């Protein structure tokens, strides 16, 4: 086995001692192995934060292309798997939090929506390091995606961190509730959370009509100011 393959295997195994020795012997930190994967790619995927820091210190590119098809980035992989310590190591190395990789994935969206309930600690870390809470990936914000997947705790976490619900967000919740009656209770909780968190708005008749059409609820009217595209604060009857 060549030294590069030894390095990538050690990184995959989380063997920081062997990784440090091989790097000290002059193995290129970013050299791809016989399968085209780098040590950083494999260490990130496995969640070995100590190895990630060693590789970056030895010159590995923290924003390199990763994944079987070079479709991702280290931060996207770490965010998707909820490897918060690895995310911290990458952010400490100066990695940006915006859309990245050839797929244009947003690390915050990946952290918020992968797994059954997303990865709350990773989400908070990304937000604390400047990730835009209303950033758009494939025409949806992190909140929109969390609503789409019916992730009640994550929806509440994003709202608590300042995510802005819109008419589109509420419409998504209602449509998903209709299509997935087995999860209707979760979507009803999400709708209530969206309404409770909505910024004060003017009772725009167009928006109110859209609300009525999408939810089938009869809202109480309130008089307040509105921002374009923002969700009015409706109070469902009953």
Angle between helices 167-179 and 184-197 (to 10 degrees): 170
Q: Which residue has the higher pLDDT, 87 or 71?
A: 87
Q: What is the DSSP letter of 149?
A: T
Q: 216 pLDDT band (50/70/90 cuts)?
A: low
In whole angstroms, what separates CA 21 from the centre of its chain? 35
Domain assignment of residue 238, given as a range = 164-238
* pLDDT exceeds 70 at position 230: no
Give domain status of residue 139, yes or no. no
Mean pLDDT value across the chain = 87
Total domains, the chain:
1
Q: pTM of the prediction?
A: 0.83
Give domain status of residue 180, yes or no. yes
Q: Are 219 and 212 in contact (CB under 8 A)?
A: yes
- List pLDDT tens digits, range 83-111: 999 999 999 999 999 999 888 999 999 99
Give domain status of residue 236, yes or no. yes
Give domain status of residue 76, yes or no. no
Give domain status of residue 121, yes or no. no
DSSP labels, 151-186: -HHHHHHHHHTT---BHHHHHHHHHHHHH-GGGHHH
Q: Residue 188: exposed, middle, or buried by beta-carbon count in 10 A (0-12, 13-18, 19+)? A: middle
Mean pLDDT of 39-53: 98
The predicted pLDDT at position 213 comes to 54
């Amino acid at each position: 086995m060549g030294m590069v393959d030894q390095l990538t295997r050690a990184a995959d195994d989380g063997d920081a001692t062997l990784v440090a020795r091989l790097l000290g012997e002059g193995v290129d930190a970013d050299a791809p192995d016989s399968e085209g994967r780098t040590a950083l790619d494999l260490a990130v995927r496995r969640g070995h934060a100590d190895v990630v820091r060693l590789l970056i210190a030895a010159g590995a590119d923290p924003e390199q292309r990763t994944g079987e098809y070079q479709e991702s980035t280290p931060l996207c992989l770490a965010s998707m798997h909820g490897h918060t310590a690895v995310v911290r190591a990458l952010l400490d190395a100066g990695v940006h939090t915006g859309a990245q990789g050839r797929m244009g994935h947003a690390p915050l969206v990946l952290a918020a929506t992968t797994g059954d309930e997303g990865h709350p600690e990773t989400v908070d870390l990304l937000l604390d390091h400047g990730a835009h809470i209303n950033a758009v990936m494939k025409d949806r914000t992190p909140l929109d995606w969390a609503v789409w997947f019916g992730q009640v705790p994550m929806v509440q976490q994003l709202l608590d961190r300042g995510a802005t619900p819109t008419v589109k967000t509420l419409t998504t919740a209602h449509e998903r509730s209709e299509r997935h009656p087995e999860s209707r209770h979760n979507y009803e909780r999400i709708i209530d959370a969206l309404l409770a968190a909505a910024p004060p708005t003017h009772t725009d008749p167009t928006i109110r009509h859209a609300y009525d059409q999408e939810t089938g609820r009869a809202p109480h009217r309130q008089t307040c100011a509105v921002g374009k595209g923002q969700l009015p604060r409706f109070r469902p009857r009953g």
